[in-house]
Amino acid sequence: MDDIPACADLAESRSWPREESKWEFLLTYGEGWGLFDEHGLVGTTIVTRYPELASVSMVLVAERAARQGHARRLVSHVLDTGVSTLFATPMGRPLYERLGFHAVGFTDIHAGTFTGPAAGVSHLATAADLDDLVALDTKVTGLTRPYLWESLLRMGTVRISGHGVAGTWQVREGRKLIGPVIADSPADACALIADCAAGDPSVRVDVHDPEIIAFVRENGLESWGEATWMVRGAEHLPGDRTRYRAPLLQALG
């Protein structure tokens, strides 16, 4: 945890948000690896391991050390013989393809002030809902990660409707992250997103359904660009992904 300020500095130097609270969360539940030179931290990656697969994230290399093979060394170090997944920027995708990853989808990052009203279709979850939330998440994502929902119920919120669930996390830097969003249809997801986002000055949600993309843009959010969802060691991601509308963090799969 002592390296979090240096990680945030590195992220900022590469035009990523600092998001120290995000680094702290990921390093609490995942493994962080770094490369250092005489000036300090020059490269990072984090891997979050589930029984079913490993999710690789936060692959960053300082400008002074770019194009020296450091990103490949970092990612290769955390890969094993099992299934791995990650989200790739356009710059990083060729490297991951050389390491054996292939594309299975994409997400479009949206952020800003949500200008629409709440849909009024959901209510707040409580600790009594934890087992049901974990069971639904495992069925849809194929991942065993009860800590995610325990954390959201403790430090964020979870909203439940008759057709899905959505989590939110207000990071210390002021932005509300929306996800995971699990919903029977894109329309159900839009209603949940509206209930989570209405009245908040700064939100982020990463979505891929065309209907949801159109909805969030119509309600004030702007695209920050796309990331390609990739997997290695399997043809597809596990679970019933047709109902997985948005992750909380790309880093968590």
In DSSP notation, 93-111 reads HHHHHHTT-EEEEEEEEEE
- Three-class secondary structure of residue 2 per DSSP: coil
65-118 tens-digit pLDDT = 888 999 999 999 999 889 999 999 999 999 999 999 999 999 999 999 999 999
Residue ranges of alpha helices (H) inside the chain are 4-13, 20-29, 70-78, 93-98, 130-141, 146-155, 186-197, 210-218
- In the prediction, which pLDDT does 167 show? 98
- In the prediction, which pLDDT does 8 show? 93
Residue with structure tokens 């087992």? 131
133-181 tens-digit pLDDT = 999 999 999 999 999 999 999 999 999 999 999 999 988 678 899 999 9
Nearest Cα neighbor of 196 from 125, 251, 106 is 125
Confidence of residue 1 (pLDDT cuts 50, 70, 90): confident
Residue with structure tokens 């891997």? 47
- Three-class secondary structure of residue 79 per DSSP: coil
- Sign, CA dihedral 167-46-20-90, equals negative
- In the prediction, which pLDDT does 88 show? 97
First-to-final CA distance of the chain: 22
Q: Could you tell me which residues come within 8 angstroms of residue 212 by beta carbon, excluding any fewer than 6 positions away?
A: 186, 189, 190, 193, 245, 246
The mean pLDDT of 45-71, rounded to a whole number, is: 94
The mean pLDDT of 37-47, rounded to a whole number, is: 94
Q: Could you tell me which residues come within 8 angstroms of residue 109 by beta carbon, excluding any fewer than 6 positions away?
A: 204, 206, 223, 224, 225, 226, 227
- Correct CATH for 109-224+238-252 of 3.40.630.90, 3.60.20.10, 3.30.70.1230, 3.40.1190.20: 3.40.630.90
CATH code for 4-108? 3.40.630.30
> In this predicted model, which residue has the larger pLDDT, 231 or 1?
231
Instruction: Please give the single-letter amino acid code of residue 140.
Output: V
- In the prediction, which pLDDT does 127 show? 97
The mean pLDDT of 49-57, rounded to a whole number, is: 96
Residue 54 has pLDDT above 90, yes or no: yes
Both structure tokens of 63:
């400008």
The mean pLDDT of 15-44, rounded to a whole number, is: 92
- In the prediction, which pLDDT does 80 show? 86
Question: String of b and e for 156-172 (b: at least 16 CB within 10 Å)?
Answer: bebbbbebbbbbbbbbe
Both structure tokens of 101:
């990853």
Q: Half-sphere exposure of residue 166, counting CA atoms within 13 Å on the CB side?
A: 31
109-224+238-252 matches 4-108 in CATH topology? yes
- In the prediction, which pLDDT does 94 show? 96
Q: What percent of the chain has pLDDT over 90?
A: 90
Q: Where are the domains of the chain?
A: 4-108, 109-224+238-252
pTM of the model: 0.94
